Amino acid sequence: MDYGEAEVIVLAQEVKADLLILDNREPRLFAKHLGFKLIGTIGVLILAYEKGFLKNPIEKIFELREKGFYISDRLLREIVKQLQGYE
């Protein structure tokens, strides 16, 4: 866990946050162990799409991927399949 992720968790404890946005596995496991609800960047994009704030989350996911955000091919296929159910 890096410094920024640790700070997010500490701050969340201090303000009694309801939800944390974390992407990396180790900080997510630790935060979950502490009882926090979690969402990741991809989850935020999907939620924005579901709420009508974003028209094409797949396009944004590919943009993130091009900029170095890691998302596996398997997870990307699952997301595309999930989003096809919304059409």
Query: How is the chain split into domains, by residue range?
Result: 3-39, 41-84
* Residues with Cβ within 8 Å of residue 63, at least 6 apart in sequence: none
State residue 87's pLDDT score.
61
Q: pTM for the whole thing?
A: 0.83
In tens digits, the chain (87 residues) has pLDDT values of: 899 999 999 999 999 999 999 999 999 999 999 999 999 999 999 999 999 999 989 999 999 999 999 999 999 999 988 888 776
Q: How far is CA 73 from CA 11, 21, 23, 76, 78, in A?
A: 33, 22, 16, 5, 9
State residue 84's pLDDT score.
82
State residue 82's pLDDT score.
85
